[in-house]
Structure 1
């Protein structure tokens, strides 16, 4: 038996661009079908009004005015926010081990923010209100509208992430241009406009500062600040209010984003024979980080439950009791706890690791965080301080249109990845160069093939 070290090459990261498979076409078709199905359902909703959903008038109507739309909005924002934090940490903290997945995390942020922004349009009932109520009166509404704050921070993060991604793509496109397809020439010209090799050092510093800004702003904007504040600062809603919401939202964002990166990296590894790029070592590391943030997530949940149930106000105790008794909440917590237990056992016995189990862990955590956010939104309406509508208890269950919205936005995110993978490398050229350089200077090899 002999061993041969397999190192990543430029040809490897160009393979998605230059390869079409039946699996790719089938996945593109399924994702398109999911998105189109939701667009048809949304058109029906626009025609008939939000009454066709499971949403209702809070109060005498006995329903919930927010439901799956807002729960999924928070979920997608969390995935997006966690993605850019992961990428920023790789660059800022020198976590070279995860360089191959940094760009996937950036693309996940773009995709997640696009899905979240779409949910704002869907939940407004009439998309034209974005122009007449938000953009047209921005200088007034920005001071007192939670919706406008959502739009503002999502737009800010989208621009920041797009700039971040665009700057790193300039290096790759300029050096790989001869091997890129001519049909996307206008896009490549736009990405590399004014490019010279002398700018590489400047761009590297710019990307570092952008990463620093992302890390600094994380607790203040989006999933660490603005969005949880929209709930936490409502004293009339005991199921929402509390200083723990910011850290709790942030922990959910990071668990969801790491889970998403695991799934996407596993899909590309399987599709393009990237065992030597997305190595088992990367998946093990991502699982350890996932376990750490799952632990934080459960700890913050415990803090909230104890604070709400131990000698607190009666309405807070009632809201906590209802949450603890809800099967969806119990299920979501058990899913996260089960994942954490598996990761802990894997740390003790590395033989328990497998890519299939890593993928399953990602799916379980993403499902759990979605269910928790959906219940969080709805339960807030069911247990208010001023319970003047006790005679008509609230009830809510998502309609088929709302479930289609989730399938449609997942399809939209998949389509974005499938499309981007045909235009630009989804793994940075810097990552390939770093892995080769590390091996040449005596570092650990990326992957070893065993040949007879």
Structure 2
């Protein structure tokens, strides 16, 4: 399936840059409000320490030194990695159908990586600990520190994505300069330093190779490698250890990323009347990918449950039994399963498809994958081989400060898109051009 949007003019492409609506201002106010609430709570953490979150050596009620902070960190990293994987696949595999949303996926990666970094910052307690703890250990002792590995992975992916995005933006800014706002002229001049149209073919090759590197690194080193390895190589945590964690993390990343792209694409389409630029066919295709990745996610969850309850070591069986007895876990699984079933149903009956329904289900998928990651972290700590928290009563309950951080980072993502959309086109110019040819190495 291919989507022809070459009839869309450049003025349509630049609507977000050249207009400010009441809906934009409302979204801006909401984003700033969420960030403001989080900063107010974060000030209390800076003032009094992590004790205000109840996350300490003995944890909140059930012995959980890691909670929503780390669960949300994994969630944001997954969204970031999945987003750039999808964008890279569009360029590497010639998936022109999704070219109208490729840059949105790249921008989502930048925003999500920023939020992941924020959670590292706030979880170490004081910001200066990044200087006193991480920098001295990086890179000489990176192999011993999960925290330093987290920073390394985020930094590597941020550099790759920023380079990827920066190279493709130059082409658009050069050709749309006379239509872009003059107030950002210093920024555009900086972006176009040394630019010549002769570099376009070279840039295409460079971007192709970066996309190739991203596709290779994702399952081997990034969200299919380092992040799950930090958990799966800890044999003392029965719920974490095991080779299934790598593919499980990667499937959750792709599922979450597709959901995020669907939501953001639908928001821009609704706000700027982009039905022609981002047609239903794009969402229908994204829905199929959501269904496929959801199926893989659910299948891998089944593998973990089956191996955990059938003739498993005592501690692993206990961890698995606790998981399947937790109502929130089944809510998370149900949200993903409903999205999968809807995607498959609309493949058989296209008349059932609705962008609004797909967006609603995507929100549910994001909530479900976040819940699964938080439960993964919390229950892995609560039900370890060495029951160091025995006798500590009560379940883990996220504090208001932790919840405010999650809402604040969502506000950061919204604010990021609101600001960026006023500076550069969030859809590549190539998406509406009919004279662009892929350049392969």
Same fold per superposition (TM over 0.5): yes
Deviation at 1:226, TM superposition (A): 0.6
**Residues 344-380 of structure 1, C-alpha deviations (whole Å, 9 max, x = no match):** 1111111100111111121111110011111111001
Corresponding residue number in structure 2 for 1:249: 249
Matching residue of 2:425: 425
1:39 paired with 2:39, answer yes
State the distance in 1 between where 2:201 and 2:67 align.
47
Using a 3 Å threshold, how does the CA distance of structure 1 residues 106 and 316 change in structure 2: closer, same or farther? same
Match of 1:392 in 2: 392
Contact 2:248/2:300 (<8 A) preserved: yes
Q: Quick check: 1:8–1:432 contact (8 Å CA) kept in 2?
A: yes
State the Cα deviation string for residues 233-276 of structure 1 (Å, max 9, x = none): 11000011110000000000000000000000000001111001
* Unmatched runs of 5 consecutive residues or more in structure 2: none
Residue 159 of structure 1 aligns to a residue whose secondary structure is helix
User: C-alpha separation between the residues in 1 aligned to 2:393 and 2:233?
Assistant: 24
> Who is 1:442 aligned against?
none
**What are the residue-to-residue correspondences of 1:216-255 with 2, within 5 Å?**
216-255=216-255
Report deviation, 1:60.
11
Aligned to 2:214: 214
**Matched residue, 2:133:** 133
Note the C-alpha offset of 1:61: 7.6
Q: Which runs of 5+ in 1 are unaligned?
A: 439-452
Tell me if 1:147 matches 2:147: yes
Separation in 1 of the partners of 2:294 and 2:329?
15
Give, in whole Å, the separation in 1 of the partners of 2:289 and 2:314. 38
Alpha-carbon separation, structure 1, partners of 2:388 and 2:47: 33
SS of the equivalent of 1:312 reads coil
Shift of 1:75: 0.5
Q: Give the TM-score normalised by the residue count of structure 1.
A: 0.93
> How far has the Cα of 1:390 moved from its partner?
2.7
TM norm structure 2: 0.96
Rounded Cα–Cα distance in structure 1 between residues aligned with 2:151 and 2:422: 30
Match of 1:289 in 2: 289
TM-fit CA distance, 1:140:
3.3
Q: For residue 8 of structure 2, give the secondary structure of its aligned residue in structure 1.
A: coil
Which residue in 2 is equivalent to 1:176? 176
SS at match of 2:198: helix
Which residues in structure 2 correspond to 1:53-452 (within 5 Å)?
Answer: 53-58=53-58, 62-393=62-393, 395-434=395-434
Partner of 2:48 in structure 1?
A: 48
Deviation, 1:437, is 7.9
Inter-partner Cα distance in structure 1 for 2:138 and 2:436: 50
**Alpha-carbon distance, 1:393 to partner:** 4.3
> Quick one: distance in 2 between partners of 1:153 and 1:389?
31
**Residue 55 of structure 1 contacts residue 398 of structure 1 at CA under 8 Å; is this kept in 2?**
no
Does residue 1:16 correspond to 2:10, yes or no? Answer: no
Counterpart Cα distance in 1 of 2:311 and 2:139: 44
The answer as to whether partners of 1:134 and 1:148 remain within 8 angstroms in 2 is yes
Q: Distance in 2 between matches of 1:353 and 1:359?
A: 11
Structure 1 residues 48 and 297, CA gap change in structure 2 (3 angstroms): same
Counterpart CA distance in 2 for 1:313 and 1:60 is: 28
Partner of 1:441: none
Partner of 1:448: none
Following superposition, the deviation at residue 326 of structure 1 comes to 0.1
Report which stretch shifted further, 23-32 or 51-60.
51-60
**What is the aligned residue count?**
433
CA distance in 1, matches of 2:392, 2:292: 42
Match of 1:218, SS?
helix
* Distance of aligned partners of 1:26 and 1:177 in 2 relative to their CA distance in 1, 3 Å threshold: same
